[in-house]
Amino acid sequence: MSRALPPPRGDDPAAFGRVAVLMGGTSSEREVSLSSGGSVLAALCSRGVDAVAVDGVPALVDALRADRIDGTGFDRAGFDRVFNILHGGDGESGVLQGLLAALRVPVTGSGVLGSALTMDKIRTKQVWIESGLPTPRFERLASGADLAAAAGRLGYPVFVKPSCEGSSVGVFRVLSADDLAPAVAFAQQYAGELLMEQMVRGDELTVGILGDVALPSIRIVPAGEWYDYHAKYVADDTQYLCPGLDGEVEDDVRALALAAFRAAGCSGWGRVDVMRDRERGLQLIEVNTAPGMTSHSLVPKAAAVLGCDYAALCWRVLEQTL
């Protein structure tokens, strides 16, 4: 497994043509996406790329349809490629990827399969289990399911989370039956499937993927009891230790993350979240195919350890569409 990034393919921003930086949208992660997208846009422009912000998939479709047909036939005058930084929703579900594949417009990140599969935490875990990769035991909960019964089967403590959301939206840490009420109340008004997962006690790690390289792991040490939405996007006292592990176990976590990424049909770039259990060792949690690129985000932190600054990282992600 490579520990170094290959050299960039080139340095001419004109090679990219006109780039849509797709951000915002309508998912529960809209605000985070706008923050990520603004930073990506500024970074690309600083490198001379002709990049334009586009808010959401309908606006992108309108831009791509404009001026597509001229006197000579089919044209793609609107945009030559898309830097997708839509978090959640159609940006990570395979909808955007299928649309752009049909229109033959290159887009950053995973294709239809990897995006659709990893948007669903339950089905991602099913693929990992079939592939012999380690992940905590879980229960798949349909709307209206009995959370108390599921927790009884798994054993406390557990996490309860929507199968198809991100950024810690709707995640509940349940240490005992006394803590279950908020999760039950959420489940009663949430229409989708929920994942109940055995809680892993130990180090919280994440590994960025860039092409065929697993970046150095980051060990996350929140000031509070766990890494929730506040710790991710608001707090300034969360510690990020990179590399998160030493020696052979650092090699192991990076190799596991890359194997998990590939097993889920992912490509391009992304991030794999892993826990190191005190008894069971490394355990896979989930994949993010459009990771955050805010000032608090983790992939830029890991890339920097390999000498790749924020603007260079954005360039390398966009290069994968050439």
Question: What positions carry a catalytic annotation?
Answer: 29, 167, 233, 271, 273, 286, 288, 292
Q: Which of 86, 150, 100 is nearest to 122 (CA)?
A: 150
What is the amino acid identity at position 163? S
Q: Which of 61, 67, 50, 62 is nearest to 14 (CA)?
A: 50
How many Å apart are CA 176 and CA 108, to the nearest integer?
Answer: 42
Q: What angle do CA 59, 315, 267 make, to 5 degrees?
A: 75
What is the amino acid identity at position 98? G
Burial 132-170 (b: 16+ CB within 10 A, else e): ebbbbebbbbeeeeebeebbeebeeebbbbbbbbbbbeb
Cβ neighbours, 10 Å, residue 70: 9
Say if strands 281-288 and 202-210 run parallel, antiparallel, or are unpaired: unpaired
Alpha helices in 66-167 (DSSP H): 95-103, 112-119, 121-130, 147-154
How many Å apart are CA 41 and CA 44, to the nearest integer?
Answer: 5
Checking phi first, is residue 104 left (phi over 0); if not, alpha (psi -120 to 50) or beta? Answer: left
Cβ neighbours, 10 Å, residue 187: 22
Judging by beta carbons within 10 Å of its beta carbon (0-12, 13-18, 19+), is residue 101 exposed, middle or buried? Answer: middle
